[in-house]
């Protein structure tokens, strides 16, 4: 099985103002003359991590990563004004133009797969290929599956769910996303942080196939917890700012683009039904289901992702 490429440091980091409010953290790694690829992180609100650089051969790729609005090192932190899917799609195109890149590979997982699809469908002429992991189409059923009482995830991780739902009084549990949002938007910093950490504990610890209910997850640190929880609740309560079934409806715009779709059979955060629906709408894409959960770091998922980026490098670089 293929493994991640060795750790690598950026050869350039910079700030990019995309409007009068938001300034993005942007970094480039690998070969400045290599095949350009844009990495789209999950969340929304999660930000990029050093291991995200390692899905690409640094000798053959010009690897572009950025923190989306309000996430990671982008500023203002956890800012939700002028923060919608359309704004993020426009930011990706702004980054491409700023870096003088004509066309590039688009790589995204989880929320990053949503954003990759939305961007490619808006700008199909700019995408050389797509690599998509942990498909999330932003449909109401997907949102309710993981975050609401009538979803199915709570039956699989009941110990972890107990803390998530227990943070909200019983008389507010008919809409947990809205109940969390009221706390995440509180003027009291302690209320915001407590809600963010409860939200992050539920999601961040539910990514792996081998589950430890006592594992804190990936979003225990206050800054990361707040940006993730605020952004996700903001996007989820607005149906991720997409029209109903938009990403399936518009898939014909990108069916000619080489693509790999990989999904963990036992992904609890993004159920496999979404990946399968995308596969049915896009039969030309290479569709691979592996024995894994949601995490991009799962060895079975890493294997497919690295093989996919290597194949695109073989084709274009």
Write the pLDDT tens digit of every residue in 52-92: 999 999 999 999 999 999 999 999 999 999 999 999 999 99
Does one domain contain both 19 and 113?
A: yes
pLDDT value at residue 217: 65
Does one domain contain both 108 and 80?
A: yes
The per-residue pLDDT for range 247-274, each reduced to its tens digit, is: 999 999 999 999 999 999 999 999 999 9
- For 238, phi then psi, to 5°, come to -110, 25
pLDDT value at residue 215: 72
Does one domain contain both 121 and 250?
A: yes
Q: Last residue of some domain: 193, 224, 240?
A: 240
Does one domain contain both 232 and 259?
A: no
* Of 38, 57, 59, 39, residue with least CA distance to 48: 39
pTM: 0.97
Say whether 33 is catalytic: no
Residue with tokens 């917890």: 225
CATH code for position 305: 3.40.50.1820
Of the residues 52, 67, 294, 303, only one is catalytic, namely 294
Say whether 294 is catalytic: yes
Residue 5 lies in a domain: no
- Average confidence (pLDDT) per 10 residues, the chain, 317 residues: 97 98 98 98 96 98 98 97 98 98 98 98 98 97 96 93 96 98 97 95 86 71 93 98 98 98 96 97 98 95 98 95
Query: What six digits make up the tokens of 88?
Result: 């993020």
Find out whether 86 and 103 touch, Cβ atoms under 8 Å: no
Of the residues 57, 250, 267, 298, only one is catalytic, namely 267
Cis? peptide before 237, omega within 30° of 0: no
pLDDT value at residue 210: 80
Q: Last residue of some domain: 240, 265, 298?
A: 240
Query: With 0-12 CB in 10 A as exposed, 13-18 as middle and 19+ as buried, what is 273?
Result: middle
* Secondary structure (3-state) at 85: helix
pLDDT value at residue 205: 81
| Domain ranges, residue 59 | 12-139+241-316
Say whether 295 is catalytic: no
Does one domain contain both 115 and 191?
A: no
Residue 7 lies in a domain: no
Q: Last residue of some domain: 201, 219, 240?
A: 240
Q: How many domains does the chain have?
A: 2
Does one domain contain both 109 and 190?
A: no
- For 245, phi then psi, to 5°, come to 55, 25
User: In what order do the strands lie in the sheet containing 61-66?
Assistant: 12-17, 23-30, 61-66, 35-40, 104-109, 127-133, 259-264, 286-290
Of the residues 25, 52, 110, 298, only one is catalytic, namely 110
Find out whether 84 and 39 touch, Cβ atoms under 8 Å: no
Does one domain contain both 190 and 152?
A: yes
Does one domain contain both 178 and 285?
A: no
């Amino acid at each position: 099985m293929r493994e991640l490429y060795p750790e690598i440091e950026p050869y350039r980091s910079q700030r990019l103002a995309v409007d009068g409010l938001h300034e993005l953290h942007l970094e480039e790694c690998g070969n400045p003359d290599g095949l350009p690829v844009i990495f789209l992180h999950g969340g929304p609100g999660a930000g990029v991590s050093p291991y995200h650089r390692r899905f690409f051969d640094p000798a053959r790729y010009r690897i572009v990563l950025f923190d989306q609005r309000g996430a990671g090192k982008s500023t203002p932190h956890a800012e939700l004004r002028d923060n919608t899917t359309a704004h993020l799609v426009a930011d990706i195109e702004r980054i491409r133009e700023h870096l003088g890149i004509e066309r590039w590979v688009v790589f995204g997982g989880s929320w990053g797969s949503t954003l990759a699809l939305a961007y490619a469908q808006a700008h199909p002429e700019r995408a050389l290929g797509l690599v998509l992991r942990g498909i999330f189409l932003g449909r109401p059923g997907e949102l309710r599956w993981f975050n609401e009482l009538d979803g199915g995830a709570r039956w699989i991780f009941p110990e972890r769910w107990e803390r998530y739902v227990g943070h909200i009084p019983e008389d507010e549990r008919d809409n947990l996303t809205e109940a969390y949002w009221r706390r995440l938007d509180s003027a009291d910093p302690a209320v915001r942080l407590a809600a963010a950490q409860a939200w992050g504990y539920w999601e961040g610890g539910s990514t792996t196939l081998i589950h430890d209910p006592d594992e804190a997850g990936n979003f225990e640190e206050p800054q990361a917890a707040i940006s993730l929880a605020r952004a996700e609740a903001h996007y989820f309560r607005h149906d991720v700012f997409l029209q109903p079934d938009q990403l399936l409806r518009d898939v014909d715009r990108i069916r000619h683009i080489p693509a790999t779709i990989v999904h963990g059979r036992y992904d609890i955060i993004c159920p496999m039904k979404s990946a399968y629906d995308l596969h049915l709408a896009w039969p030309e894409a290479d569709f691979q289901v592996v024995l894994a959960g949601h995490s991009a770091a799962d060895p079975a998922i890493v294997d497919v992702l690295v093989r996919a980026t290597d194949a695109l490098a073989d084709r274009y670089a």
